[in-house]
Structure 1
């Protein structure tokens, strides 16, 4: 099957939006490849796999996963065409436009598990129609093409965010409580190197630590404190696996004054020492 691919690029601002029906094949085609956010959509009847950081993600038919440039994504295990939308902050900044789409902390940034939504059968035509409108707009390079594509992307993000709220968040939470969870997730992603206590984030959110703990007890089984420590451990694993930095350098970068303290923390979170984890990743290459 022939790949469909399009890209919009504005040299003046470096704004970029790319679309392909086979991201594994076309990953090197796009003009902008760094610091992009992606929506990955499995349009096949069968499942497929992608690797995110150090674990394998299985996408069922009709599922969409969202990844950011903070995550290390590999398509080496992907055996079927995978549809992807890729964009950078210059094209559409989801942080600056969070009031419009309310996706931070749910679809992008700050989420502890990779967000995956399933398109329900009644909505399949709506998503497919939006895909066709994208393709049509890509073929019309006029002065307002960027604005039109931005509107379509915003629509896609909103549709995915609504599904995420329905499928990934328990129904007993109201919008205000969901907003607190979103903001907490984003704050952890921003401050995890310097703020390690729940009380630090409670103060930023103008809530009590107990309120946060009670809220997350409803939302999932992870406590706010565990989420903070998991985020720190995740970054440590990324630095060990994807950089040449030594354990001592990583310890200081993550805010540990003592490398031995960092090693104890890493072993507690992963059951491996930093060196053991590094060696285990080399063995799998």
Structure 2
């Protein structure tokens, strides 16, 4: 896939992007902050640099697969030539939330506040994923019967394979991590946030739950996740808010209340402070299917 090309599907109802595949041979596309209202997958086939994602920085090199969810801020600073291929798709084309049981990528590949937003690819894995990109590109070049369904099928397989790789890498990292006591605390922190993020919003809440002082817990969070404890809690709340905004017809006030916020306007300011957009704008731009079930 060396010939530079762009293939796009648009939503016929509103003219917005549904699905896009493109190759790049420089960094002009990603050298500034991206806040896209669709999922973005990027395979780096040549080059290296620094990825700035949310409030964190990660060095990267060739054979890296990035996975970014809607409105996640990111940019790639390259040290030279950067080559690769990107897939971008909107919720309305393929809803990660709704197909969670089929592909299990939500919470692993995407929307995972506990893991870095990329995986390293072995040469064989990279070639396998690029083959699926080629199959998708082939479909995009045609007007064949039920083309979109075929593309979704290839996309599902791509996401399943990438999710498997990430799960394997997580297992290796955790198995090889030094300090069993600290690793246990990290796992306990994850569990505590998952169980309590709707009602407990402050770092001290989790320090009390885990019987550890706040500074020590914050240090563990920073060392292991490269994020502050407050960011871990906030990002988990935002992920749930986005899911509710997309999948349900609950009002913003109802969603705020379910996430532990009595003041709808305070919650809206919190949401906008973390995403740069209001809850209603997220619902309107990412897509909202009334009456749909997950």
TM-superposed CA distance for 1:25, in Å, is 4.5
- The Cα shift of 1:233 comes to 6.0
Hey, what does 1:88 align to over in structure 2? Answer: 90
Residue 253 of structure 1 pairs with residue 290 of structure 2: no
Gap runs ≥5 in structure 2: 176-186, 211-219, 237-264, 272-294
What are the Cα deviations for residues 28-51 of structure 1, in whole angstroms up to 9, with x where unaligned? xxxxx841111111111x323332
Of the three residues 144, 147, 158, the one matched with 1:145 is 147
Asked whether the equivalents of residues 15 and 90 of structure 1 are also in contact (C-alpha less than 8 Å), the reply is: no
Residue 201 of structure 2 corresponds to: 196
Equivalent residues of 1:64, 1:117 under 8 A apart = yes
Provide structure 1 residue ranges, at least 5 long, that are not aligned to the other structure: 28-32, 173-180, 202-208, 211-220, 236-248, 256-285
Match of 2:38 in 1: 36
How far the C-alpha of 1:228 sits from its partner, in A, is 6.1
Is the CA contact 1:38–1:67 (under 8 Å) kept in the aligned structure 2? yes
Residues of 1 paired with 2:19 and 2:96: CA distance?
14
Q: CA deviation at 1:106?
A: 0.9
* Aligned-partner SS, 1:158: helix
- Given that 1:51 and 1:77 are in contact with CA atoms closer than 8 Å, whether structure 2 keeps it comes out as no
The residue number in structure 1 matching 2:231 is 230
Q: With structure 1 as the length reference, what TM-score do the two structures score?
A: 0.58
* Distance of 1:146 and 1:87 partners within structure 2: 12
**Count of aligned pairs between the two proteins:** 206
Tell me how far apart the structure 2 counterparts of residues 141 and 25 of structure 1 sit (CA, whole Å).
31
Contact kept, 8 Å, 2:36 with 2:72, in 1: the verdict is no
Q: Return the structure number with greater relative CO, CA threshold 8 A, min gap 6.
A: 2
User: Do the aligned partners of residues 233 and 15 (structure 1) sit closer, same or farther apart at CA in structure 2, a change above 3 Å counting?
Assistant: closer
Q: Within 1, Cα distance between the matches of 2:268 and 2:128? A: 49
Counterpart-to-counterpart distance in 1, 2:113 and 2:135: 30
Aligned equivalents of 1:251, 1:104: Cα separation in 2: 24
- Local SS of the residue matching 1:90: coil
Q: Alpha carbons of 1:234 and 1:165: their partners in 2 closer, same or farther (altered >3 Å)?
A: closer
Look up the SS of the partner of 1:42 in the other structure. Answer: strand
1:123 to 109, 122, 125: 125
Q: RMSD between aligned alpha carbons?
A: 4.1
2:157 matched residue in structure 1: 155
Tell me which residue corresponds to 2:75: 74
Counterpart for residue 214 of structure 2? none
* Residues 21 and 86 in structure 2, CA contact (< 8 A), matched pair in contact too: yes
**Residue by residue, what CA displacement relative to the aligned partner does 1:9-40 show, whole Å, maximum 9, x if unpaired?**
2313756111111285457xxxxx84111111
CA distance in 1, matches of 2:148, 2:140: 9
Name the residue aligned to 1:275.
Answer: none
Q: 1:137 to 1:26 in 2, by over 3 A?
A: farther
Shift of residue 63 of structure 1? Answer: 1.3
Moved more, 74-83 or 53-62: 74-83
Q: Distance in 2 between matches of 1:8 and 1:48?
A: 30
Measured in 1, the distance between the counterparts of 2:158 and 2:270 equals 35
- 1:152 deviation in Å? 1.0
Partner residue, 1:6:
7
